[in-house]
Amino acid sequence: MGLTRLRLTVGGQVQGVGYRWFVREQARRRGVSGWVRNREDGAVEIEAEGEADELKAFVAAIETGHALARIESLASETLDAKGEESFEIQT
């Protein structure tokens, strides 16, 4: 299978609780590349790339797995793969 890339926008209580670090750890555990950053509107934006099964597990983990975050919305858009090799926190 080929790589898939998603742009995810996560809304709710996701800033100031360590959520970006949690997202990075989940990506690295699953071999997902890309980045995560806070947006000025209080949401967190993620671009994640990997095999379909890896991405599915990644999205499930970031939607439900962080103890301090409260996810109220998660929007997803499919993008063209870029072939990135790491997952980073952007500032």
The pLDDT score that the predictor gives to residue 46 is 98
The pLDDT score that the predictor gives to residue 59 is 97
User: Is 7 among the catalytic positions?
Assistant: no
Find the catalytic residue in 7, 30, 37, 38: 38
Q: Which helix (H) or strand (E) holds 21?
A: helix 19-30
The pLDDT score that the predictor gives to residue 65 is 83
Q: Which amino acid is at 34?
A: G
Q: Where are the domains of the chain?
A: 4-82
User: Is 38 among the catalytic positions?
Assistant: yes
The pLDDT score that the predictor gives to residue 70 is 96
Find the catalytic residue in 5, 7, 20, 24: 20
- Averages of pLDDT over runs of 10 residues in the chain (91 residues) are 93 97 98 98 98 96 93 97 96 85
Show Cβ contacts of residue 48 under 8 Å, excluding neighbours closer than 6 positions: 5, 6, 8, 27, 32, 33, 34, 55, 58, 59, 87
What CATH number has the domain spanning 4-82?
3.30.70.100
Predicted structure pTM score: 0.95
The pLDDT score that the predictor gives to residue 1 is 62
* DSSP string across 32-80: -EEEEEE-TTS-EEEEEEE-HHHHHHHHHHHHH--SS-EEEEEEEEEE-
